Structure 1
Amino acid sequence: MTVPRAIGVGEARQRLDELTVVDVRTPGEFAGGHLPDALNVPLDRLAPRLPELREAAGRAPLLVVCASGGRSGEAVGGLAAHGVPASGLTGGTRAWTAAGHPLHRPAGAGRAAWAMERQVRLAAGGTVVSGVLLGLLAHPAFVLLSGAIGAGLAFSAVTGTCGMAALLARLPHNRRDARLRT
């Protein structure tokens, strides 16, 4: 059976009860809201979880979700390379909510975590401002810090990767673990 690489929000909503939804965002992003009954397996932890995902795919088709579709597309390709069939949700949770569908926010989860994109903007912006201030007040060489952040953001845009997001994903508030349910 051929599994489509992408499923639209309408089809996903109709088939939600027959799919195993795997959210590849960080645990912090996941806690901020996810599709009902979704399992959190962050993208950087897919490889060690392949046996569980292969088993889950044997029980029900996998639907991989992220915020916009980029990380889920990467995950679908990685899973396919290991013989695990999966589809991605076109447009991710943003498209899901834009279509008027609710996200599940568990009771007792505390404050909603910031999305990774927002965390990156805060870290990059704070570092740039710090570099400029330190360059003016301490030593002009600190302005190079701002230049390095700008170069990193440009590299991120060109390559579709983000080193700062990878680093921020390792912070404790982004690393709450969630295991696959059976």
Structure 2
Amino acid sequence: MTVPHAIAVAEAQPRLGELTVVDVRTPGEFATGHLPDALNVPLDRLAGSVPELRAAAERTPLLVVCASGARSDKAVTELAVHGIAASGLSGGTRAWAAAGHPLQRPAGRVRAVWAMERQVRFTAGGIVLLGLILGLLVHPAFELLSGAIAAGLVFSAVTDTCAMAVLLARLPLNRRGNRARDPQGR
């Protein structure tokens, strides 16, 4: 059976009950709202969950979700390398919510967490600004900090990877809030 690489929200919504939804955002992002009954397996932990995801894919088709579709696209590609067929949700949870479909949230108060792309933009911009200010006020060599971030952003775009996102995903802020189940029962 051929599995499409991406599924539109309009196609996924009526089939939701027959799909295993895997949300690859950080636990903090996941806690701010996710598709009903989604499993949270952050992208950086995907490889460690391959056996469980393979078993889940044998039962029902996998639908991989993130905020916008970029991380789910990477996850679908990574799963394919391991022989696991999966589809990504086009537009992610943003498109799901924009179409008027509900997002599930844990009971109680959940601390809002910025999406990973926003965290990366804020961090990169802050470091560039800091390098420029320190270069003006302390020593011109601090401007190299801004140059290093610029080089990192170019490398990130060329390779379609993001070391800063990997580092930010490991922060406690992005690890909290996961009250849902994952394939390993954690």
- With the length of structure 2 as denominator, give the TM-score of the two structures: 0.90
CA distance in 1, matches of 2:16, 2:182: 20
Counterpart of 1:148 in structure 2 is: 148
* Structure 2 CA distance for partners of 1:26 and 1:108, relative to 1, 3 Å: same
Given that residues 32 and 110 in structure 2 are in contact (C-alpha distance below 8 angstroms), is that contact kept between their aligned partners in structure 1? no
Given that residues 72 and 88 in structure 1 are in contact (C-alpha distance below 8 angstroms), is that contact kept between their aligned partners in structure 2? yes
Give per-residue Cα distances to partners, 1:126-163, cap 9 Å, x unaligned. 11121112112211100111111122222222332211
Would you identify which runs of 4 or more consecutive aligned residues in structure 1 move more than 4 Å? none
* Percent of paired sites with the same residue: 74
List alignment gaps of at least 5 residues for structure 2: none
Counterpart of 2:74 in structure 1 is: 74
Counterpart of 2:87 in structure 1 is: 87
Q: Secondary structure at the match of 1:21?
A: strand
Given that residues 72 and 89 in structure 1 are in contact (C-alpha distance below 8 angstroms), is that contact kept between their aligned partners in structure 2? yes
1:62 aligns with 2:62: yes
Q: Secondary structure at the match of 1:63?
A: strand
CA distance in 2, matches of 1:91, 1:158: 22
Q: By how many angstroms is 1:65 displaced?
A: 0.7
**For residue 142 of structure 1, what is the amino acid of its counterpart?**
F
**For residue 149 of structure 2, what is the amino acid of its counterpart?**
I
1:16 aligns with 2:16: yes
Q: Secondary structure at the match of 1:130?
A: helix
CA distance in 2, matches of 1:109, 1:75: 29
Q: Secondary structure at the match of 1:2?
A: coil
1:179 aligns with 2:185: no
Matches within 5 A, 1:1-182: 1-176=1-176, 178-180=181-183
What is the root-mean-square deviation in Å for CA atoms of aligned residues? 1.7
Given that residues 52 and 184 in structure 2 are in contact (C-alpha distance below 8 angstroms), is that contact kept between their aligned partners in structure 1? no
Q: By how many angstroms is 1:108 displaced?
A: 2.5
More displaced stretch, 17-26 vs 117-126: 117-126
CA distance in 2, matches of 1:98, 1:108: 24
CA distance in 1, matches of 2:129, 2:67: 28
**For residue 23 of structure 1, what is the amino acid of its counterpart?**
D
* Structure 2 CA distance for partners of 1:172 and 1:100, relative to 1, 3 Å: same
Q: By how many angstroms is 1:109 displaced?
A: 4.9
CA distance in 1, matches of 2:157, 2:64: 23
Task: Give the length in aligned residue pairs.
Answer: 182
**For residue 6 of structure 1, what is the amino acid of its counterpart?**
A
More displaced stretch, 30-39 vs 157-166: 157-166
**For residue 79 of structure 1, what is the amino acid of its counterpart?**
L
List alignment gaps of at least 5 residues for structure 1: none
Q: By how many angstroms is 1:121 displaced?
A: 1.7
**For residue 134 of structure 1, what is the amino acid of its counterpart?**
L
Given that residues 22 and 62 in structure 2 are in contact (C-alpha distance below 8 angstroms), is that contact kept between their aligned partners in structure 1? yes
